[in-house]
A = this chain, B = another copy of it.
């Protein structure tokens, strides 16, 4: 991942602190923030300084490492693990990463515990990076196929940010796009703005600009008519939790794009590392759907004409608003799941064949 021409990762450990890119400040300010305690990590997840299922997992792993560094009493570590898991309800990677850390640290004595925690957190992150790279290699095949048939720019629609800012590197949905771009296949990305937090505009378009991939921001309302007009060749999105039956929980509004893709015979792919699969929940109705503060809707931040960051109220002052953060796309509307192991059908059988 390149920002202003320099290579980064979204999270790293340096001089006893965890460093992150504060994503609430993007795209107007690029700020590297230090997390010194597990509470800093919990807060960063809660207020979405870090977001995206894989990066939330990585931050939780490093967060638990910070807990160990603060106080390696098993009770404190256990309490910290619980608080980390509760910091956001929908992304499954959070629980997955914390459980993996706890398992690794079980029965380790106090001398070694910090270095083991640190290694495991780094391994979780390295693994995610490798998985995202493989997702890119697997997804590239789909883009190549479309390009070989069309012999013209491949138009890809994406929703929210499942880019490198949502992972450790490469991204999930963007990884095939970056791989195609590096290979010289002409791609153009329709970036859904993704209200209310505008992660599409603020983060995905920002990323694509930095990587010099042509992209155009559109209102979330626009994807339908573009598909009707034949101006979208494929959709790729990420996911916060995919059930073993292929149902996909992702950023609110994903379901509407999947419906439009289905109605217009546009292939709709979901890119995910296997850490995002929930093998336990059988019914998507059981997925906890986070409801966030309605101020995320009613207030918007931007830069004014003096280049100052300003927050403004955009709604009538008497109005109330409701802010659900995720929805579920039934498996039948998903053309395929692009994973680190290959691409499969969004179904129980498809996932079983690939992972069991």
A residues lining the B interface (CB < 8 Å) = 27, 191, 193-196, 198, 201-202, 205-206, 209, 215-226, 228, 251-253, 255-257, 259-260, 263, 289, 297-305, 310-324, 326-328
Contacts and interface: CB of A to CB of B under 8 A. Distances in A.
A21 B259 CA distance: 38
B314 A224 contact: no
Nearest to A208: B319
Contact of A315 (B217, B223, B310, B321): B217
A228 B259 CA distance: 13
Contacts of A323: 218-219
Given A228-B328, A302-B314, 7 more contacts: A27-B316, A198-B314, A218-B322, A219-B252, A224-B256, A225-B252, A225-B328
Given A195-B193, A252-B222, A256-B260, A313 B319 contact: no
A297 B222 CA distance: 12
Given A195-B219, A196-B219, A217-B319, A300 B327 contact: no
A312 B322 contact: no
Nearest to A302: B312
A256 to B, nearest CB: 4
A311 B320 contact: no
Given A289-B225, A300-B302, A316 B202 contact: yes
B221 A321 contact: no
Nearest to A294: B217
Nearest to A206: B316
Contacts of A326: 225
A127 B61 CA distance: 66
